[in-house]
Amino acid sequence: MSVTAKKKAPMPVDIRAAKGGIPIVSLTAYTTPMAQMMDPHCDFVLVGDSVGMVLHGLPSTLGVTMEMMIMHGQAVSRGLSSAMMVMDMPFGSYEASPQQAFGNAARLMSETNAGAVKLEGGLTMAETIAFLVGRGIPVMAHIGLTPQSINTLGGNKVQGRGEARDKLLADAKAVADAGAFAVVLEKVPESLANDITAAIDIPTIGIGASAGCDGQVLVVDDMLGLFTAFKAKFVKRYAHLGDDAEAAIAAYAEEVRNRTFPGKEHVFADQAPKAKT
Ligand code: KIV
């Protein structure tokens, strides 16, 4: 039985208990209509800080603010009834201290009705994860390629190859031991993702990782073909909505210019039509 076979939205403990079962399904969402579309199909929906690049045209996730996250979290929350919502903690909102992280995580949870927060980092964030979990805030961890650290990682490179393999395995164990209920593995070699999945007792959620992970997540605008600035190898396009939208806009522009829109069916007569008796 999948996690969402339940009528109520799953809680972090339900996601945690899905380890090794039917794969956990997740997508990012930033708006109410998109959340409504994925609600029946996803176990959890992530309000990712990818919103900065996907909807706000930012060059990276670093410029995303608490206010942006809260506004999108509130919109997504209004579209969900059977999927859990996880809120990304934006860059600069949690790294300084466990206390800083608690203040901002509590705000994200109370102002958006989220079920959990997600933050990036392994061993270095373990103390913060334990602090939050101990104070009632469920945490999803995120290791491997952590986009908020793009400047120290030196770009969007695959993480955990060669000597970095053991460190990533240690990061996974550290966040699991600290009490995270799940961990996102982004852009890591397939065999390492499989080893991590076998080594820890919390679900691994893959993005550019392995079909052997306990679940998968994708950025919804990537998989629908709405965000086309670039396409990572791990993105599968399930639709090409960006192309469809551009063709529709071009058709509209042409019809406006040649006065075929609006047509007779879109305009109003002087007198209201008589009601039928
Ligand atoms: O911000 C985001 O969309 C994410 C996913 C890529 C996991 O963190």
Helix (H) or strand (E) holding 28: strand 24-28
Between the CA of 42 and the centroid of ligand 1 the distance, in Å, is 15
Q: For ligand 1, atom 4, name the residue with the nearest CA.
A: 48
Checking if the pLDDT of 4 tops 60, the result is no
Kindly state if the Cβ of 219 falls inside 6 Å of ligand 1.
Answer: yes
Q: pLDDT tens-digit profile of 116-131?
A: 999 999 999 999 999 9
CB of 144 closer than 8 Å to CB of 168? yes
pLDDT band per the 50, 70, 90 thresholds, residue 180: very high
Task: Please give the pLDDT value at position 1.
Answer: 46
Measured CA to CA in angstroms, residue 109 lies from 15, 74, 140, 214 at distances of 18, 10, 13, 25
Burial label, 11 (beta-carbon count in 10 A; 0-12, 13-18, 19+): middle
Q: For ligand 1, atom 3, name the residue with the nearest CA.
A: 48
Kindly state if the Cβ of 28 falls inside 6 Å of ligand 1.
Answer: yes
Between the CA of 83 and the centroid of ligand 1 the distance, in Å, is 17
Candidate of 55, 186, 224 to mutate for ligand 1, largest count of ligand atoms within 8 Å of Cβ: 186
Task: Please give the pLDDT value at position 178.
Answer: 98
Kindly state if the Cβ of 216 falls inside 6 Å of ligand 1.
Answer: no
Residue 40's contacts (CB-CB under 8 Å, 6 or more residues apart) are 4, 82
Q: pLDDT tens-digit profile of 60-97?
A: 999 999 999 999 999 999 999 999 999 999 999 999 99
Candidate of 60, 149, 184 to mutate for ligand 1, largest count of ligand atoms within 8 Å of Cβ: 184
Kindly state if the Cβ of 217 falls inside 6 Å of ligand 1.
Answer: yes
Checking if the pLDDT of 273 tops 90, the result is no
Measured CA to CA in angstroms, residue 198 lies from 74, 125, 213, 214, 234 at distances of 36, 22, 9, 10, 22
Known catalytic residues?
A: 186
Kindly state if the Cβ of 184 falls inside 6 Å of ligand 1.
Answer: yes
Task: Please give the pLDDT value at position 8.
Answer: 86
Between the CA of 239 and the centroid of ligand 1 the distance, in Å, is 19
Count other C-beta atoms under 10 Å from residue 156's C-beta: 15
Ligand 1 atom showing the smallest separation from residue 120 Cα: 8
pLDDT band per the 50, 70, 90 thresholds, residue 157: very high
Task: Average the pLDDT over 213-225 and give the result.
Answer: 98
Kindly state if the Cβ of 204 falls inside 6 Å of ligand 1.
Answer: no
Q: pLDDT tens-digit profile of 226-248?
A: 999 888 999 999 999 999 999 99
Q: What is the number of residues in the chain?
A: 277
Check: pTM over 0.85? Answer yes or no. Answer: yes
Q: How far apart are CA 59 and CA 20, in angstroms?
A: 36
Average confidence score pLDDT of the chain: 96
Short-list 228, 242, 232, CA closest to 207: 232
CB of 69 closer than 8 Å to CB of 118? no
Strand bridging mode 182-186 / 204-207: parallel
